[in-house]
Chains A and B, each alone.
Chain A
């Protein structure tokens, strides 16, 4: 009963938003500037996917075959950008690559023309910052999935690295790369916070940004609705395509032993080292810049930081609770008895985006209440909805294992209802639940999307507050507030993850 109601609720929210948008769109003709936004959205997403992947392939290969001090830490750190608030990274990137930043200072000393961070290059750079680590980790899994025995065999046959690449590594890449590129493409389609700061005008406006501008700048509801509908269609098409593209690499099973293989020396070694160093610098410099700028300001934070932080934490906790409950209910139901439409309902949010759902809800609610009165509940709901597919996917395999391992035993013992939940389900699923809750809370904490659409001037969340300070070019204060934001985001993640581990261990 509950899973069905939940599935219906999610479907109603997303399809209802779509219907609302369809009803409100006054004209079905896109203006030239709207077409430009569609083109730019696709272009920046495609470039970001290609560049992230293009860099991730040699990087993952270098990380796979080299052993050095801090390698494990580096690979773990590559997971960190996933929950890093976008505004913080953008702030760091502006600090490092801006006209007054160190990169341009270096260029100037060599009498080279200054580079601008605003426009396509800035948007793509920020997207690569977030997605290069993601692609690298995914590819590294791919490399590690190639049975070590094959590399040994290749080595004993005297295959040079190029032949190994052709016979062992390229087949894996061929199978994995398109899916990874598409995942990054999909993530970049919904680029809002990045384009908001680094876009720099009509030339570099994504559809998400155009939706925001249509509503907040022009109050053109019909146009916002039409743009949101276009965004929904593009994301849905991309998601459909992605669901057909997850081909597993067809290697025979190996023993899964990790064995240090002799890696090639000479220029290959220097190349790998240089690449790893460059990427570490690229990822670390913006964050170090924010830290260096923000640390002195921590003692004199602008007074708005704490109320904004409190709002953000409440939203993050509520949305984490909501999405964990929803994902748990759906995953348990699905593990008990597979249902096609429930699966679809859980994955449906992948086709939506923050501003699309926001606009739909905005149009639904506006006749009844002032939008800013509902800014926080709406942000909470949208954040929970958008993270549902990830959490559901995370919980489903564990829920299935739990069902197949313990269902008969539990039934024969008459363990059901709350008792079963308390003594069996929650303890067994504590680890993924904790991890998932941490992920959801941190993502919600750092999200800057729908809140920008709804917020009045006193209801800003911490990411929006940082964005506003950055807008006013109070970079030092923005950096200090950004440090608080990063601290809280990672603390939330860490605490939930710890709680999960704790319950799983006891």
Chain B
């Protein structure tokens, strides 16, 4: 009891002492700030040097983050936004300021003056290899099967949007047909990645839309080799996750410093084993053991930011129409 009181007293004292320290508001998606996510580590790491306090605000999944930013308009207090991807950057660009480019080791060239990449990965359907011994080998194969899948909503989540563009990149005008074939496989469409992955782990479906790197989490963090990502012959769509500084930021210097910190070895290493993605710039010590077991897509697909922006609205409508029949 005494210690609780003491702790409470200290906490009050600490808050008063912190009252003058600047606060950096970071808007991101919800799994980023989970206790097992990168948020807590990055917060501690950056606060150690910045003389500031980092406050995270979450708004569902990546695409919902953009909607939230637009919704708050000029009343948004976000300084930094973490977790958009290149499929959304063209739509988001008017709300962001230019930032200093950073060196990266991405497999594709990246040159957007307003955003810095912080990690990347390939979308993939993840399954339990103890229950599903012959996984589908293509999206078309999956659509023809009786397997039950959980996907994310492309309007609110970046994996959901990624799948939409994946299908579009692989099938072009045949995308609508593929979606109607896929409709009976879809158990449910969740607003974000966390919901979908949680439901998959809870046993609600055979496969879930996630990343080729997701099995690494189970392997490294839980010593569980039962999760695999299915390699698809159409190739895999790629995601490059980015961060940027808002035009309305009241702490532009701190925001720049935070973006630079995101590209540092310390932050990149933390991201690999908390966000479970490939680092935007491979740290000196390389990738952790276990990553070499992951599937390597034969072909990677990616629209440019401008292409994605042009396709998005029509593709979402096509998706909605195909799935609402």
Q: Which residues of A contact B (CB under 8 A)?
A: 31-33, 36-37, 40, 98-100, 116, 118-119, 199-203, 205, 213, 215-219, 366, 369-371, 456-458, 471-475
Contact = CB atoms under 8 A, between A and B. Distances in A.
Contact of B195 (A219, A370, A371, A472): A472
Contacts, number: 108
A118 B188 contact: yes
A463 to B, nearest CB: 17
Interface in B300-325: 317, 319-321, 323-325
B140 interface: no
A202 B323 contact: yes
7 contacts: A31-B317, A31-B321, A33-B317, A33-B320, A100-B202, A203-B324, A217-B67
A347 B184 CA distance: 43
Contacts of B199: 473
A369 B72 CA distance: 9
B260 interface: no
Nearest to B183: A203
Given A31-B317, A118-B187, A473-B201, A203 B153 contact: no
B58 to A, nearest CB: 5
Contacts of A116: 148, 187
Interface in B60-107: 60, 63-64, 66-68, 70-73, 75-76
A219 B156 contact: no
Interface in B272-325: 317, 319-321, 323-325
A366 B68 CA distance: 13
Contacts of B201: 473
Contacts of B198: 471-474
Given A99-B204, A213-B155, A215-B71, A201 B195 contact: no
Given A118-B188, A219-B70, A36 B195 contact: no
A205 B325 CA distance: 12
Contacts of B58: 457
Contact of A200 (B68, B73, B187): B187
B251 interface: no
Interface string B167-184: 000000000000000010
A481 to B, nearest CB: 16
Given A202-B320, A219-B71, A99 B205 contact: yes
Given A213-B155, A472-B194, A200 B317 contact: no
Contact of B191 (A31, A371, A471): A471
Given A217-B191, A473-B201, A370 B186 contact: no
Question: How large, as a class, is the contact surface on chain B?
Answer: 35 or more
B11 interface: no
B190 A202 contact: no
B275 to A, nearest CB: 16
Nearest to B27: A457
Nearest to A119: B188
A218 B323 CA distance: 18
A471 B320 contact: no
B59 interface: yes
Given A217-B156, A474-B198, A201 B189 contact: yes
Given A99-B203, A201-B323, A473-B202, 11 more contacts: A31-B321, A33-B320, A36-B321, A119-B188, A213-B153, A216-B67, A217-B155, A219-B66, A471-B190, A471-B198, A473-B201
B233 interface: no
Nearest to A200: B188
B255 to A, nearest CB: 20
A36 B320 CA distance: 9
Of B195, B320, B325, chain A has the most CB atoms within 10 Å of the CB of B320
Interface string B185-226: 011111110110011011111000000000000000000000
A63 B198 CA distance: 42
A364 B160 CA distance: 32
Contacts of B138: none
B57 interface: yes
Given A219-B71, A369-B75, A473-B199, A457 B205 contact: no
Nearest to B202: A473
